[in-house]
Amino acid sequence: MCYTIQQLEERILKQGQRKQSTPGEIEEALRIFREQIKGKPMFAISGFDHPGLPILIGQGGIHWQDMHWGLIPLWTKDWSAAMEMSNMTLNARAETVFEKPAFKHAASTRRGLLPVTGFYEYKHVKGKKFPYFIDWSEEDVRWVACVCDEWRDHEKGETLLTFAIVTTRGNSLMAEIHNNPELDEPRMPVFLEGENLLQWLSNETPIETLKAMLKPLDDGHLRAHTVKPLRGKNSPGNTPDAYRKHDYAELYEPPTLF
């Protein structure tokens, strides 16, 4: 699953030139986003902290809304239930996002895009897990498909806007890294690009068209390396060290001697 992401300011400000065309409305939104993130380092953002992040939505014209990571369905009864739910809804599976009770209203009515410059995942080896940072060779932003909902806390009189990242089965690289034995298959975020960006945001797009977009990124676009622990006393936290390469002796395979 995807529980930690990166929004690296220097890469977002630089914005490389991938060959895929990006709609003008999305480019303009990214220009606004650049202004919003200046001076806000986001080297490693954990969903379990339920951070407030700018999500691009299409309702009422394309614009940004701050939302908390961890979707709270509108039917959630109270604050206690909402907090419990938000820890279980950081991700939504592409295969069931339009059917699962927690997500189907959000998927059908309010979809969003989260700009990222990388994400983190664990590899399991001999009973231990090792964190990897995954990004792409293009100095660029990629857009993760999200579903969003609005929950009203009647006791406090507050409204929370929340989101979940949509995931799909992993491509070949993610199959190698995301090998959690407790899961039925490797997973990865759904990345959208080109005209699919506007279609995902539009409530005029047929559901079957939306479902067809939710597929793995083609092989060859991602790269990965091990990093320091994401949690605990040895974690660098939200600093540049979070995504810098860190080797683990347990993963080193000595050459075969003949």
Q: What is the DSSP string of 66-120?
A: EEEES---TT--SHHHHHHHHTT-SEEETTTTTTSTTTHHHHHH-EEEEEESEEE
For 45-74, what is each residue's pLDDT tens digit?
Answer: 999 999 999 999 998 889 999 999 999 999
CATH of the domain at 27: 3.90.1680.10
Residue 254 lies in a domain: no
Rounded to the nearest integer, the mean pLDDT of the chain is 90
Of 82-86, 118-122, 237-241, 252-256, which range is least confident? 252-256
Inside any domain, residue 257: no
Residue 258 within a domain: no
Name the domain count of the chain: 1
Across 170-189, average pLDDT: 92
Whether 32 is covered by a domain: the verdict is: yes
Q: Is the pLDDT of residue 18 over 80?
A: no
pLDDT tens figures, 194-223: 999 999 999 999 999 999 999 999 988 899
- Percent of the chain with pLDDT strictly greater than 70: 93
- Residues 94-141: pLDDT tens digits? 999 999 999 999 999 999 999 999 999 999 998 899 999 999 977 688
Range of the domain at 118: 4-43+51-221+231-247
Reported as a single tens digit per residue, the pLDDT across 230-250 is 999 889 999 999 999 999 988
Average pLDDT score over residue span 7-23: 67
Instruction: Answer for the pair 113, 55: CB distance below 8 angstroms, yes or no.
Output: yes
- 24 within a domain of the structure (yes/no): yes
- Per-residue tokens: 244: 């810098």
31 in a domain, yes or no? yes
